[in-house]
């Protein structure tokens, strides 16, 4: 079996802990040798996933716990973010994500809902399991080239 180290964090489902996970995230990614740009991408992706869990999963009870697991492999980092709160309607979420269109009228611009879009843009692989609570599994490979899903939309970092 492929060897890996595993680090796990359990945090209250509250916004003030998003930054704590971000710090842990940069510590692990830095130790693994990710570039400055990749570390910044990882910080955003992890924060988005936790923000989703904090805002949607527990909106009814207002309390809960989020588990964050980091699988540290030779060639990649796997991050798992799990909550046991309410599941969300995946199909509905998928329909709502995507970049802005320049000709969209300002009145109809969305004020939220780009979290998942950013996660998918910044990570190499993303899986979402939505049966009991929500589990987001995302991977980023070391020395992978910058995400470039549309040449003129994402500027590769100089």
Question: Token digits for 134?
Answer: 């929500």
Q: Is 104 in the site for another protein (CB under 8 A)?
A: yes
User: Taking CB under 8 A as the criterion, which residues in 66-95 touch another protein?
Assistant: none
Q: How far is the CB of 56 from another protein (least distance, A)?
A: 12
Q: Is 2 in the site for another protein (CB under 8 A)?
A: no
- Is residue 136 classed as helix, strand or coil in its secondary structure? strand
- Looking at residue 156, the DSSP 8-state letter turns out to be P
Nearer to another protein, 2 or 102 (CB): 102
Q: Is 112 in the site for another protein (CB under 8 A)?
A: yes
| Rounded Cα gap, residues 64 and 86, in angstroms | 11
Q: How far is the CB of 73 from another protein (least distance, A)?
A: 25
Q: Is 51 in the site for another protein (CB under 8 A)?
A: yes
Return the residue of 4, 6, 10, 15 that touches another protein, per CB under 8 A: 15
Q: How far is the CB of 52 from another protein (least distance, A)?
A: 9
Q: How far is the CB of 131 from another protein (least distance, A)?
A: 25
| Rounded Cα gap, residues 15 and 52, in angstroms | 10
Number of residues that bind another protein (CB under 8 A): 40
Q: How far is CA 25 from the centre of its chain?
A: 11
Q: What torsion do the CA atoms of 81, 150, 153, 29 make, to the nearest 10 degrees?
A: 30
Q: What torsion do the CA atoms of 139, 25, 15, 123 make, to the nearest 10 degrees?
A: -20
| Rounded Cα gap, residues 31 and 34, in angstroms | 8
| Binding interface with another protein (CB under 8 A) | 15-16, 18-20, 22-23, 36-37, 40, 43-44, 47-48, 50-51, 54-55, 99-102, 104, 106-107, 109-112, 114-115, 117-118, 121-122, 153-155, 157-158
């Amino acid at each position: 079996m492929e060897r890996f180290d595993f680090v796990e964090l359990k945090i209250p489902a509250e916004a003030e802990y998003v930054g704590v996970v971000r710090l842990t995230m940069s510590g692990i990614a830095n130790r693994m040798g990710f570039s400055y740009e990749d570390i910044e991408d990882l910080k955003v992706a992890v924060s988005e996933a936790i923000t989703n869990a904090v805002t949607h999963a527990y909106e009814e009870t207002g309390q809960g716990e989020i588990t964050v697991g980091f699988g540290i492999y030779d060639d990649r980092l796997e991050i798992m973010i799990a909550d046991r709160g309410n599941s969300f309607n995946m199909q509905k979420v998928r329909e709502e994500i995507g970049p802005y269109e320049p000709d969209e009228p300002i009145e109809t611009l969305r004020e939220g809902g780009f979290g998942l879009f950013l996660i998918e843009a910044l990570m190499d692989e993303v899986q979402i399991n939505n049966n009991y609570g929500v589990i987001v599994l995302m991977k980023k490979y070391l020395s992978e080239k910058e995400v470039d899903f549309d040449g003129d939309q994402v500027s590769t970092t100089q």
